[in-house]
Amino acid sequence: MPGRGERPDVAGLLDEALVRAVHRAGASGGGVYLLDEDERFLVLAVTCGAPGEITEPWWRLSITRQSPAPEAVREDRLVWVGGQEDMARLYPRGAAAAPHRMAIACAPLRGAERCWGALSLVWPAGRSSRISRRERGQVAFSARRVARVLDEASHPPVIPDRPRVVPVRLATERPVRSALAAADLVERLPTGALALDLEGRVTFANHAALDLLDRTPEDLFGSVLWESVPWLGDPVCAETYRAAWLSGEPATLAVARPPDRWLTLRLYPDASGISILVDAEDTAVERPRSEVRPPPGTATVTAAAAGRIHQLVHLAAALTETVSVQDVVDLIAELILPTFGADGLIVSTTEAGRLKAIGHHGYAPDVVERLEGLQMDAELTPVGRALATGSPSFFASRAELARDYPDTPQLSDKHAWAFLPLITSGRPVGCCVLAYDHPHTFTTDERAILTPLASLIAQALDRARLYDAKHNLAHALQQRLLPHALPTVAGLNVAARYLPTSYGMDIGGDFYDLIRLTDTTAAAVIGDVEGHDVTAAALMGQVRTAIHSHATAGAGPDTVLARTNRDLADLDPGRFITCLYAQVDLAGRQVTLASAGHPPPLLHRPGQDPQVVAVDPGPPLGIGVELPYALSTQPLPAGSILALYTDGLVETPGADVGRTTADLARHLARSSDLPLHHLIDSLVRRARPTGQHADDIALLLLQPTS
């Protein structure tokens, strides 16, 4: 877990490893993401090649998000995005937030014992959309180098609130000739010239630039350009900067210098920063007639507002990906609160004429409980008015709230609020309250954005509530079909785990069972029904019932599978069902196996090398093919461990199944001295270190005792 006792040199070593990775790959920039202590988010710890504000939409990424860095960690592989087309095809949400010409590579930071996060590298426009084997090797090598720095640190690194920005140090410095002559030349030019470093700070400006921007050297030098010249921080300018930084391509923009003078800025990015040429309207290159310019005197937008708008593009795309109500609440807390600088959040729905909080942030639970008890009368509470009228309410201070609603008690320590009604299809579904710890004046810009944003949230919330209702029903069905507890068999230790897929409805068709046959024999079963839906869960219940019936009737492993296959063929399930049946003879110290197309089990005997047991697989169940199921008998002395599992434990995109299975067998042997319930958790963590998995996982461990 990330801690707060970081050695002073760890950050420096991490910065150096990132810069070396950028140089080695010939990239224009990059960043190191670290998993937070709950392994739910990737946080950008250090970045280079662009100012921190440029990368703000990607400072914090949910591990479940469809984006290159989270996918690299989830699937433990290098992810390559060769350009805009790849981004739009693979990550539509990312394409909406970053419509720029660039290539991205993300590799997991696989350490000795854990995954630390991801290394991200960015190339500007102009490079090939393909990545060569050599380049893949360079990125993978750099990721291992960064992971080694983290492994060798005396304490895990600090997870920062905002990333450190480090310069991309050039491998060789170009000699500077006749510096004074060059400076004189630039000063004589009628065109304004500015130089920005990689943090967006002004390092040089000639007199023409100072005159055109109407600033003094003290105003500009060492400052961030869009902060020292606020009218260069409007949304159009901000997006032009972002495109230039990320794509590495020149960009041009026209901007009005208040009150009515127009300037043309031409941006030329390179590895050391951005060079900007500034021309007045009368000498600027003619712009296309189609260009729309705001009228002189139009209110400018701050750099913070520009970042906010970019974040909201992010949010609109993100809301389309939310599935459950909790997803919606988490997304609001993750993106909306920091975007608007709010400190508290309550999302409530209406049930039987009363409010019910379904999520909150920045409020104590007892305060939320008291707020739920308030009446919804439009004359008494702002929430009631918001729901009755469908109009949002904004209160910049306690005094404003008390003036309009004198009978509403002050139940929290907040000082400013935005009450946003959640209306969809003309009916209220709830209310979203943003709160501030200090008085906050809501600008026209904020009000204009929050109002339509509430409609997006309402639609997502309504959709999520319907999903949750279906999911709860399906989940209850599956829980009823899986065994609540396994029977006790004398002389046999057992441990089992079932983990539904991390995506979708969290249900599926993987199953396991333990059936006591006699005092000294038991049958262990594991299987996988194709799909992750209610049909898969229901079919799984039918399979378990059929197997249990034939097993307790005294049939052998091959006969149990053959009869179950016949039963299912009559039902015409229309899905593949794999199954592994193991009959354990505790008296004879052996196990007899039969497989219906299922992955082979793992076996570790004391003092011997682990093995993947060879079992000739018969046809999957339910497909109507009646072929005999081969039997395989293996010695099973006391202390041995037999592991039955489904393919979700060993199948990872881009990885060889044989290699991952053999690696899991070796880990089983190395950890065999652990108690069985600790061992089974260790196996799951080894296979899925982030806790995220695209398929169901079922795992059953059997260990005969002496």
Per the listing, tokens 């949002």 go with: 392
Other residues' Cβ atoms within 10 Å of the Cβ of residue 137: 11
Measure CA 483 to chain center. 32
How far apart are the C-alpha atoms of 503 and 515, rounded to whole Å?
31
pLDDT of residue 98: 64
Q: Would you say the pTM of this structure is higher than 0.85?
A: no
Mark residue 257 as left, alpha or beta (left: phi above 0; alpha: psi -120 to 50; beta: remaining): beta
Q: 522 phi and psi, to 5 degrees? A: -150, 155
pLDDT in tens, 172-215: 444 445 556 666 677 777 888 888 887 778 888 888 888 888 88
Per-residue pLDDT, 306: 47
- Answer for the pair 383, 366: CB distance below 8 angstroms, yes or no: no
Q: For 280-306, what is the mean pLDDT?
A: 43
pLDDT tens for residues 295-344?
Answer: 333 333 344 444 455 555 666 777 777 777 888 888 888 777 877 888 98
C-alpha R_g of the chain: 31
3-state secondary structure of 263: strand
Helix/strand/coil (H, E, C) string of 388-427? HHCCCEEECCHHHHHHHCCCCCCCCCCCEEEEEEEEECCE
Quick: pLDDT tens for 389-439. 888 889 999 999 888 888 777 778 899 999 998 888 778 888 899 999 999
Q: Which residues pair with 592 in a beta bridge?
A: 583, 633
39-48, 145-154, 270-279, 444-453: least confident range: 444-453
3-state secondary structure 449-501: HHHHHHHHHHHHHHHHHHHHHHHHHHHHHHHHHCCCCCCCECCEEEEEEEECC
Residue 227 has pLDDT above 70, yes or no: yes
Confidence of residue 531 (pLDDT cuts 50, 70, 90): confident
Contact present, 632 and 617 (Cβ < 8 Å): no
Which region among 443-452, 523-532, 544-553 has the lowest average model confidence (pLDDT)?
443-452
Taking only the tens place, the pLDDT of each residue in 16-54 is 889 889 888 888 889 999 998 878 888 899 988 877 777
Query: b/e map of 275-304 (b: 16 or more CB within 10 Å)?
Result: bbbbbbeeebeeeeeeeeeeeeeeebbbbe
Classify residue 692 by its DSSP letter.
-
Is residue 678 helix, strand or coil? helix
- Under the banding of pLDDT at 50, 70 and 90, the label for residue 690 is low
- Is the pLDDT assigned to residue 84 strictly greater than 70? yes
Residue 516 φ then ψ, to 5°: -80, 120
Question: In the chain, what percentage of residues exceed pLDDT 70?
Answer: 84
The predicted model gives 597-624 an average pLDDT of 89
